[in-house]
Chain A
Amino acid sequence: MARVVVDVMLKPEILDPQGQAVQRALPRLGFEGIADVRQGKRFELEVEGPVDDAALARIRELAESFLANTVIEDFTVRVEESAAGATAPTGAAR
């Protein structure tokens, strides 16, 4: 099965108070030199069948209409090549 990853981020002009809170906590934890943090969402879609142009077009539609609110968020869609999955020998121990 192929995996398609949809990343959703708040648009740059939209304030991200969660990211700011994370960023402000960093010095207390001893992490220096992080100028900014933005927090987003990652969706991993396990797709049945081939991930062809038609499948990707449908996923983009899904991302645009549901996974992201394009009033405040941007999204990207990409296919993640599986390293193991189909090529792993059957019966292999973990």
Chain B
Amino acid sequence: MTTRIGVVTFPGSLDDSDARRAVRLAGGEPVALWHRDRDLHQVDAVVLPGGFSYGDYLRCGAIARFSPVMETVIEQARGGMPVLGICNGFQVLCESHLLPGALTRNDHLHFVCRDQRLKVENADTAWTADYTAGQEITVPLKNGEGGYVADERTLDELEAEGRVVFRYLGGNPNGSRRDIAGITNAAGNVVGLMPHPEHAVEPLTGPTTDGLGFFTSVLKKLVQA
């Protein structure tokens, strides 16, 4: 039986079809989930994709957080279901308080779109087990509000508990505190990051295939479970 990975589409989501494609290329069965539908249709994991949900009105991810589908996603994530938030999805996870901190406007005010080198700091999460700690990967980055902020105590906690999953290499692209590109919750099942692994899953369209590991990691984890 193939593993079912749900990808939520909010009004304004852009990267939902790339995320579904990444799931398929990794060997999973992508399942399209709709923001107004509370039912997760028996998926084993969920990806919140990039884009501009609800037009980024109020704050990025602030309105998506209250959508019907998120009620179930939040509940299941607290119960241990793997959830990956990419870019806008990361913002939704922070607004939902599944992850600490917040994403703010890039310190230089420019929208950034480039291939970004990252260091994998934590290879024990549900979404990073196919990497090794310290590994360098390159995936696209594209955001206007990607500056990760949290108070010093939260940042110290994240560092001490090994919950910084990715750090920017070769220059901080958006003013993120301590070069943080992605983090995880204490249980390691919820991961959020600003860069886009789903755009780096095959040589024809991506700068690398470094992003595929996210999706193979979670598939392996779910088969073992």
Contact = CB atoms under 8 A, between A and B. Distances in A.
A57 interface: no
Given A14-B149, A15-B175, A69 B107 contact: no
A71 B102 contact: yes
B95 interface: yes
Contact of B109 (A21, A69, A71, A72): A21
Interface stretch (B24-32, B58-66, B199-207): B58-66
A71 B62 contact: no
Given A66-B62, A69-B95, A15 B107 contact: yes
A38 to B, nearest CB: 13
Contacts of B106: 17
B150 interface: yes
User: Chain B contact residues (Cβ within 8 angstroms of A): what range?
Assistant: 10 to 19
Contacts of A66: 58, 62, 66
B105 interface: yes
A37 interface: no
Nearest to A18: B105
Contact of A14 (B94, B104, B108): B104
A56 to B, nearest CB: 21
Interface in B89-103: 94-95, 100-102
Which of B66, B94, B100, B149 has the most A CB atoms < 10 Å from its CB?
B149
B62 A72 contact: no
A2 interface: no
Nearest to B152: A13
A51 interface: no
Nearest to B61: A69
Contacts of A69: 59, 62, 95, 102
A5 interface: no
Nearest to A15: B107
A69 B62 CA distance: 8
Contacts of B100: 71
A-B pairs with lowest CB-CB distance, top 3: A71-B102, A72-B102, A17-B109
Interface of B: 58-59, 62, 66, 94-95, 100-102, 104-109, 147, 149-150, 175
19 contacts: A10-B104, A14-B104, A14-B149, A15-B104, A15-B107, A15-B147, A17-B106, A17-B108, A17-B109, A21-B109, A66-B58, A66-B66, A69-B62, A69-B102, A71-B94, A71-B100, A71-B101, A71-B150, A72-B102
Interface of A: 10, 14-15, 17-18, 21, 66-67, 69, 71-72
